[in-house]
Amino acid sequence: MNKTAIVEKNIQLTQLEFKSYFETLNKYINVNGINSELTYAAVKTIKALENDYQEVLKGIYNPDNDPKFQEYKQEAQKILISKADRDEQGNIKVDANKTPIVTEQIVEYQNEMKELQEKFADVLQKVNGANEYNFNYLNQPRDLKIYTWKSIEEVPNEIPGVIMYYMFREEF
């Protein structure tokens, strides 16, 4: 292996491209039989960019990780269960999808849900805008320092095209 063939290079990717590149590098270093120079470059790049990668992941909004949204869902479930129709034995009636049915106390249910939605309006707005937020966030440019070959001509033939794309995208 020729370590001197690998150099530090500054590139700019969107955060989505960076996330994909980082995950691709991690995937390829876990495969047997890949080029030792690629492994060296990939490991150096991964180590250099680990904090950036964690930062990108933290910036992606996921309602499932939002404690306020989880609180909203729990309270909504309590309201649903408390207002659900019951059979003669007191069991909750459900539809074909196993969702509780609310018909007998529908007005009370709707009123309580409206109050709950008003109480959690900020988090519901955030959840409803999550896709747009994440799209805008992931399309922001990010300056990165990676390890690669000096020129595309030096790259061994067995290097996967997807990795070459990120390493030399300005040449394509």
For residue range 43-67, list pLDDT tens digits in order: 999 999 999 999 999 999 999 999 9
Could you tell me if 118 and 76 lie in one domain?
yes
**Residue 131 and residue 69 in one domain:** yes
Residue type, 71: E
| Residue 33 confidence (pLDDT) | 58
d(CA 76, CA 127) in angstroms, rounded, equals 15
In a shared domain, residues 75 and 132 = yes
Residue 39 confidence (pLDDT) above 70: yes
Type of residue found at 75: E
pLDDT of residue 82: 97
DSSP label at residue 165: H
What domain count does the chain have?
Answer: 2
67 and 132 part of one domain: yes
Residue 93's Cβ-side half-sphere holds a number of Cα atoms within 13 Å equal to: 11
Residues 103, 67 within the same domain: yes
The model's pLDDT over 92-131, given as tens digits with 9 standing for 90+, comes to 999 999 999 999 999 999 999 999 999 999 999 999 999 9
164, burial (CB in 10 Å: exposed 0-12, middle 13-18, buried 19+): middle
Residue 141 C-alpha from the chain's centroid: 17
| Same domain as 91, residue 28 | no
Domain, as residue range, for 106: 63-136
Residues 116 and 145 in one domain: no
Tokens, residue 128: 């409803």
Q: Please indicate, yes or no, whether residues 146 and 83 belong to a single structural domain of this protein.
A: no
Residues 89 and 75 in one domain: yes
Residues 115 and 97 in one domain: yes
Q: Are residues 126 and 148 in the same domain?
A: no
CB 75 within 8 A of CB 116: yes
